[in-house]
Amino acid sequence: MFGFICNFATALFISVSCFLFSGDIFSVQAKIIAVDGREEKSFPFDTLKSNVWQDLEKGVQFMRVTETVMTDRQDGANQKLPVTVCFDVLKFDPEYFAFAVYSASIDNTASKPLLAWTEEYGLKAAINASMYLPDEKTSIGYLKKGNKFNNKRRGQKLGAYFVSMPLAQYKGKIPEAAIIYADDPDLSRYFLKGEKEHTLAGALKKYNVVVQNFRIFDLEENSSDWKNKRRHAIAAVGEDKDGRILLMYASNPMTIGEFRTILQKNPLLKIKRAMYTEGGSEAGMAYRNTSLFLWQYEDNIIFFLKGIIKLPNVIGVKKR
């Protein structure tokens, strides 16, 4: 695969400016790259359209979310100014697509760039699974696939779990893929009639895939205590009110607070729960149509194409 990834003559670069501040365009630009030279002549989505769902194929939609939020000037003046930010969303219907985690430690392979994960395992789409520890392989929170573990420890402050691949006896009876919160008030949907003890641990045991990270969308019953104010690229996974799974990527640096505000503000997203999976230079998202498309912050594209930035764990999407 990397023969054509590193062959820049076949790489198609398209820049989309989408970060405005007080009417002036920042130098930061979103990058989406077609990384091979196949039949695809253009993107399968229109990057100039905002806040409208675009059908890509059966069970997949794309939307570029654009919203204006108020942010601190950060110069000590204690004033807020409007910032228009955007990020891209891929929405998958679990009826047509299956979700799994791919892990260097669990799958007995090496950490590798996002594009290499998609190629090696024939993935339709992929995104970071979670942040990881300094050993560059262990997730910061609980991560399992089947009966194998990358990390058995549940982070007390992380608050969200992405789950998929129900055990055989529960398939078709509980959600195929979902996000569960540590204080989730809706645990009953993971239990069958007659099962009385509706606990988080009991719900998680019913899935082959469980990945834990920070919760970034607030339930009405409780507010998130994660108030990170640093600006960076963001990769996240969400679940909407219809049970669709959303892969979300913001290449334009923003704070978690701004990202959360947009998730809550945009009614087209219909977000129910969301989990942060990575930020900064390691964050990215990929989707395969005819060509393979990569979302990545502009300054890091060369690192990704050369295979310098390697990921130990990713969430991958395959057609059923």
- Over the stretch 31-78, which tens digit does the pLDDT of each residue have? 677 676 555 557 788 888 999 999 999 999 999 998 887 776 665 556
What is the three-class DSSP state of 183? coil
> Which of the pair, 199 or 2, is modelled with greater confidence?
199
| Residue written as token pair 């600006």 | 231
The beta strands (E) that lie in the chain are given as 12-16, 20-21, 24-25, 30-34, 54-57, 60-72, 80-92, 97-103, 125-128, 143-145, 148-151, 159-166, 177-181, 207-214, 232-240, 245-254, 271-279, 285-288, 292-297, 313-319
User: Could you give the C-alpha distances from 308 to 117, 256, 302, in angstroms and in order?
Assistant: 14, 26, 9
> Which of the pair, 175 or 28, is modelled with greater confidence?
175
Alpha-carbon 66 to chain mean position: 17
C-alpha torsion sign, points 100, 104, 108, 112:
positive
Q: What is the pLDDT of residue 147?
A: 94
| Euclidean distance between CA atoms 316 and 110, whole angstroms | 16
Q: With DSSP H G I counted as helix, E B as strand and the rest as coil, what are the percentages for the chain, rounded to 5?
A: 15, 45, 40
8 A C-beta contact, residue 318 and residue 122? yes
pLDDT in tens, 168-201: 999 999 999 999 999 898 999 999 998 988 999 9
| Euclidean distance between CA atoms 255 and 238, whole angstroms | 17
Alpha-carbon 207 to chain mean position: 19
Span 6-19, average pLDDT: 37
User: Could you give the C-alpha distances from 254 to 7, 95, 165, 281, in angstroms and in order?
Assistant: 31, 33, 32, 13
8 A C-beta contact, residue 15 and residue 6? no
Q: What is the pLDDT of residue 36?
A: 64
What is the three-class DSSP state of 260? helix
Tell me the chain's radius of gyration from C-alpha atoms: 19
| Euclidean distance between CA atoms 171 and 184, whole angstroms | 21
Average pLDDT, the chain: 82
Q: What is the pLDDT of residue 176?
A: 97
